[in-house]
Structure 1
Amino acid sequence: MHAGRRVRRAVAAAVVGLLAASAATIGTGTASAGPGDWWDPVARPAPDSQINVTGAPASGVDAQGDVTGYLEAHNHVFSNEGFGGRMICGKVFDPAGIATALKDCPEHYPHGIGAIFEHATGGDDGTHDPVGYPTFAHWPSYKSLAHQQNYYAWMERAWRGGVRIMVNDLVTNGMICSLLPRDRGCNEMESIRLQARKSRELEAYVDQMYGGPGRGWLRIVTTPEQAQQVVAQGKLAMVLGVEMSEPFGCKQVLGFPQCSRADIDRGLDEFKALGISSMFLCHKFDNALCGVRFDEGTTGVAVNAGQFLSTGTFWQTERCRGPQSDNPISSVDLTGPLRTLFPADPPSYDPAKRCNTRGLTALGEYALKGLMSRRMMLEIDHMSVKAAGRSLDLLEAADYPGVVSSHSWMDPSWHERVYALGGLVAQYGAGHDHAGTDGFVAEWSREAGLRAAYDKAYAFGTDMNGVGGTNPPHTTGTPVTYPFTALGGARVDRQTTGQRTWDVNADGVAHYGLVPDWIEDLRLTAGQAIVDDLAGGAQMYLDTWGATRAWSAG
């Protein structure tokens, strides 16, 4: 074990001991909220979703001061509030109850014909049953990318099944927003502010069910010490991150930046004030900070069109200067609906030129150094090879550990550089090349030696509600048998909401509540070792975050 990690764990254990007696200082007391156990709500809205998990949530720390629990490194809890409010249909919660929260967007009624985004992403065949609660005939589903998968009770089920740290990436894209039906404006910073506020409202909504402030199972945390305490108590620590295309107004138009250093400083200071602890510098579109790692296939064509509309330029490629490469840009027949996306003919791409010409700009370097000075973590996924390589150079020069690859969107040959800094890597939940459980297991196995060399656990980033897709049913191997035993001994049965009961064998990961079922599928496929590695994910995140906060320049 690395000496630095031993020191951090000793400090963490001491912090847990000191804070245990004064949990109320951050509102995380676990005293019983009523006649039942502390994890039983005093009053849940009726009607509401079932949880279908019994038994105490895993809690506590071991002799080394380590906590146990899964790390969800990349979730978009409130993406329904991004993109103008109508790209993802259905809410995480609503004070009026589940029937109001889990209903489709108005333009999807009566037969889903107006669901443009659902059609474009392959979620239906041009029509669908829009009714959510109570029948859920069409959604949520692993096939549907335009409907809510993060209803709060489904998140509660995942917590009961072992998820202990969740990075909630606040997300938006102003150009995509402008092309869709919407309830509000498309200013990206305003969308991030709204989602940060909604996250706090969710925390309060859960607290109400458990008897008042601080009593619920969900705590938003802004320091690793807070997170350590929350996880040790068996609750879910939510970390706020940001994944947006043009942060702080830092877009580029025809190659010219539309922001300044002062804009970056103001934006980073505001993010800190909002409780945001990590962020991406670029996402989907090349911006004034960095170039992006391309999307592939039809999605790539649509994103490239959006880039042109936003910036006046298509992606530009060149021969890679090393073994790393960006994703290929597929040749797609621009006929039918795709043709309407393009105001001009896109360039023809040479398949031998796999790297984005844009890397980390001077403003991007300034923003990265700004993250470091504020002890925030850099999300390195979505950066082009040139941008990621330069970012790693700067991080290594400063010996800065705060770097995260949260959902398999960087060249994997650079994972060792991330680990060597003290950062962490999490795998996309739907598996390598969207191959589901088998793809996830194959990637876990492939890097086992590298993780062992750096004393690293494992983690996943589901990208739930992120239009990336979730796990389909696993049709090979041993099926999951219900009920099964989750992390810490809780018993998990099939999940029911309204008139619909889901089974991971038939439905895949249709919503976030089926994450424990998927982990049981991983166990049946690869054995207890993969669960043990995932159970170290929460502590792995605390190690990286703690080292980031303790970093000192020079």
Structure 2
Amino acid sequence: MSDIRPLSRSALAPLALTLVALLLAVLAAPLQPATAAATAGRVPEPGTGATGAPFKGTTPDGEVRGYVDAHTHLMAYEAFGGRLFCGKPFDPAGVQAALRDCFDHAGNGALAWFENFTRHGTPLGTHDPVGWPTFKDWPAWDSRTHQQAYHTWLERSWRAGQRVLVNHLVANRQICEIYPIKSNTCDEMDIVRLEARRMTEMQDYIDRLNGGPGKGWFRIVRGAAEARKVIEDGKLAVVLGVEASEPFGCRQAGGRPGCTREQIDRGLDEMKDLGVSSMFLCHKFDNALCGVRFDSGTTGVIVNLGNFLGTGRFWQVEPCTGTEHDNAIQPSGALGDLLRGPLSGLGQAGLTLPLYPSPPHCNVHGLSELGEYALKGLIDRNMIVEIDHMSVKAADRTLAILEEHDYSGVVSSHSWMDGNYARRLYRLGGMITGYGHAADQFVREWRANKEHRAPGRAFGYGYGLDANGMGALPPPRAGNDGNRLQYPFTSPVDPGVTLDRQRTGLRTWDVNTEGVANYGLVPDWIADMRTLAGPEITEDLARGAEVYLQMWRRAETGTG
């Protein structure tokens, strides 16, 4: 049974805003352009702006070729209560039904307080709520609550050379309980099951558009060999992962775990049955399995509050014992330095305050006994371990256990690991993929990670776009007036494919001015990286699929 909590006074203001928004939405519904479009009949699916036949087969040395997104959330619209996120990656009724704004954004979006806060840093703001066909204000690289990965946008990336997509089934009970409008449960594992079902439905839908069962370009895979065959056929291998804050109900409240070893075993077996191959043990909030790597800045203050609501405690820090550290959190400094001793004593007694000494900060919580059990359960089931979001204390112990087992199945998928662990991860045979930063920042991070590559190991790189993950997509590259990407351009990964500016409905996007406004501009972003770093980076990205499959195969066979 869900732990239902009364709304705090701080939650009443957003609730009042939302109730007013609902009233305005009902009054404005007859005037909504999307409503008129839905009743006018189905329209054809948008094109991709890509021409040429996607590459099939292997290179002369027998390797597959293609780039990897190791971290995205196609079905996030079902998470967080099912009403926080606007738009879907597909809809049986077509694009005009899928790409519609949330009904509580009606009018001018002034009451879309969560969108306004995550995009502008204030609950006040406006946007044009009309999606299809005008898309005046969304999708955009900095809009967190609007659909970023419609299936034809993803298709454009596949046509340009993408061959692996790791789709994380995502859930977060705390965000769900805070947001007052809901159509879905807040139970994280129920949402994981629902999103897995939606993934199969999306595969079936794309099959229907391409001639029938098995004929689509989007194929959910359960193992490295199946993925290799899919890629050799020139299609996109879709891997299922899980990024939940309380997997298997493993929350932590008042210092007590909310799950048992038996629950963990049942949960892991169920995930395998669902086709899940990659998994996080903790995400955003400390849980019964591990402590988290903190968020910093204003976001960290908010997430820390969520940690308190979920666990009964604010994050706790301790002196770091090595060069690795977690992200710095606020408020910290003089008063926290003065009270360091008393704050530590309070924490040991189970009482915490959101006040911290000067950084570096390290989470006191590492990998718990239950966390070690769950980690070994992933190894026993040949699943890929996602190390991002773990505190350095948890990550260090996780890497030590993986080293004891000589286990290669480990990924840092979106730049949420201390970079000092890169060398250990590469020695194991794991893989790093960088977060979707601006092209110049992504290039810098790629170069830094490549310095740590392991001798004798094949090197390939990828990205974790985190599309629909409540994070920003790559913005336009600053200072690009003198070396803009020129349209049309040849895919830097598949020279048989040419891409022009992406157009959906009445809107045309240009990566030079709008960044990665949606998933369809990923090829443009990669081509922009080639402008900065030459063919070396695109060759490393093109080897991403092969290196990911080699890592996955070693995990399946238990070979290091």
- Aligned twin of 1:4: none
Q: d(CA) in 2 for partners of 1:512 and 1:385?
A: 31
- Aligned twin of 1:57: 54
Amino acid paired to 1:202: M
List per-residue Cα deviations over 1:444-479 (Å, max 9, x = no partner): 222333236343111111111111211111132411
Q: 2:442 aligns with which of 440, 443, 450?
A: 440
Structure 1 residue 245: Cα displacement: 0.2
Amino acid paired to 1:74: H
Do the aligned residues in 2 keep the contact of 1:318 with 1:353 (CA within 8 Å)? no
Q: d(CA) in 1 for partners of 2:164 and 2:547?
A: 10
- Aligned twin of 1:473: 476
Q: d(CA) in 2 for partners of 1:255 and 1:417?
A: 31
Deviates more, 1:445-454 or 1:178-187: 445-454
Could you say what secondary structure the match of 1:460 adopts?
strand
Summarize the Cα distance change of 1:484–1:172 in structure 2 as closer, same or farther, 3 Å threshold: same
- Aligned twin of 2:540: 533
Q: d(CA) in 1 for partners of 2:281 and 2:454?
A: 30
Amino acid paired to 1:310: G
Identity %: 53
Give matches, 1:73-472, under 5 Å: 73-123=70-120, 126-180=125-179, 181-331=181-331, 346-430=353-437, 436-451=438-453, 453=455, 454-472=457-475
Q: d(CA) in 1 for partners of 2:198 and 2:107?
A: 29
Could you say what secondary structure the match of 2:354 adopts?
coil
Deviates more, 1:469-478 or 1:375-384: 469-478
**Which 5+ residue runs of structure 2 have no aligned equivalent?**
1-41, 333-350
List per-residue Cα deviations over 1:155-186 (Å, max 9, x = no partner): 11110111100000110101101111221111
TM-score by length of 1: 0.87
Deviates more, 1:45-54 or 1:154-163: 45-54
Could you say what secondary structure the match of 2:401 adopts?
helix
- Aligned twin of 1:513: 520
Q: d(CA) in 2 for partners of 1:265 and 1:492?
A: 47
Structure 1 residue 353: Cα displacement: 4.9
Q: d(CA) in 1 for partners of 2:155 and 2:458?
A: 30
List per-residue Cα deviations over 1:301-321 (Å, max 9, x = no partner): 111111111110110001001
List per-residue Cα deviations over 1:288-329 (Å, max 9, x = no partner): 000000001111111111111111011000100111000000
Summarize the Cα distance change of 1:345–1:411 in structure 2 as closer, same or farther, 3 Å threshold: closer
Q: d(CA) in 1 for partners of 2:545 and 2:101?
A: 34
Q: d(CA) in 2 for partners of 1:89 and 1:53?
A: 27
Q: d(CA) in 1 for partners of 2:114 and 2:364?
A: 30
Q: d(CA) in 2 for partners of 1:447 and 1:159?
A: 25
Q: d(CA) in 2 for partners of 1:473 and 1:71?
A: 21
Amino acid paired to 2:178: L
Q: d(CA) in 2 for partners of 1:132 and 1:177?
A: 24
Do the aligned residues in 1 keep the contact of 2:408 with 2:559 (CA within 8 Å)? no
Amino acid paired to 1:483: P
Q: d(CA) in 2 for partners of 1:92 and 1:219?
A: 15
Deviates more, 1:439-448 or 1:405-414: 439-448
Could you say what secondary structure the match of 1:169 adopts?
strand
Structure 1 residue 331: Cα displacement: 2.5
Q: d(CA) in 1 for partners of 2:331 and 2:522?
A: 35
Could you say what secondary structure the match of 1:348 adopts?
coil
Amino acid paired to 2:451: G
Do the aligned residues in 1 keep the contact of 2:367 with 2:394 (CA within 8 Å)? yes
Structure 1 residue 441: Cα displacement: 1.0
- Aligned twin of 1:22: none
Do the aligned residues in 2 keep the contact of 1:284 with 1:292 (CA within 8 Å)? yes
Q: d(CA) in 2 for partners of 1:352 and 1:516?
A: 39
Q: d(CA) in 1 for partners of 2:558 and 2:548?
A: 15
Q: d(CA) in 2 for partners of 1:259 and 1:345?
A: 23
List per-residue Cα deviations over 1:9-66 (Å, max 9, x = no partner): xxxxxxxxxxxxxxxxxxxxxxxxxxxxxxxxxxxx7332221100010221123321
- Aligned twin of 2:35: none
Structure 1 residue 357: Cα displacement: 0.2
Structure 1 residue 116: Cα displacement: 2.0
Could you say what secondary structure the match of 1:426 adopts?
strand
Structure 1 residue 345: Cα displacement: 9.1
Deviates more, 1:174-183 or 1:123-132: 123-132
Do the aligned residues in 2 keep the contact of 1:174 with 1:186 (CA within 8 Å)? yes
Q: Does 1:484 align with 2:486?
A: no
Could you say what secondary structure the match of 2:138 adopts?
coil
Do the aligned residues in 2 keep the contact of 1:401 with 1:423 (CA within 8 Å)? yes
Amino acid paired to 2:553: G
Could you say what secondary structure the match of 2:371 adopts?
helix
List per-residue Cα deviations over 1:256-293 (Å, max 9, x = no partner): 10100011001001100000001000000000000000
Amino acid paired to 1:480: L
Q: d(CA) in 1 for partners of 2:373 and 2:450?
A: 35
Amino acid paired to 2:47: Q
TM-score by length of 2: 0.86
Summarize the Cα distance change of 1:361–1:398 in structure 2 as closer, same or farther, 3 Å threshold: same
Do the aligned residues in 2 keep the contact of 1:451 with 1:457 (CA within 8 Å)? no
Do the aligned residues in 1 keep the contact of 2:66 with 2:543 (CA within 8 Å)? yes
Q: d(CA) in 1 for partners of 2:559 and 2:47?
A: 47
Q: d(CA) in 1 for partners of 2:411 and 2:280?
A: 10
Could you say what secondary structure the match of 1:121 adopts?
helix
- Aligned twin of 1:17: none
- Aligned twin of 1:66: 63
Q: d(CA) in 1 for partners of 2:304 and 2:371?
A: 21
List per-residue Cα deviations over 1:360-405 (Å, max 9, x = no partner): 0000000001001100010000000000000111110011111110
Structure 1 residue 438: Cα displacement: 1.1
Could you say what secondary structure the match of 1:363 adopts?
helix
Could you say what secondary structure the match of 2:404 adopts?
helix
Structure 1 residue 128: Cα displacement: 1.1
Could you say what secondary structure the match of 1:451 adopts?
coil
Q: d(CA) in 2 for partners of 1:353 and 1:474?
A: 30
Do the aligned residues in 2 keep the contact of 1:317 with 1:353 (CA within 8 Å)? no
Q: d(CA) in 1 for partners of 2:397 and 2:443?
A: 31
Cα RMSD of the aligned pairs, angstroms, is 1.6
Do the aligned residues in 1 keep the contact of 2:85 with 2:145 (CA within 8 Å)? yes
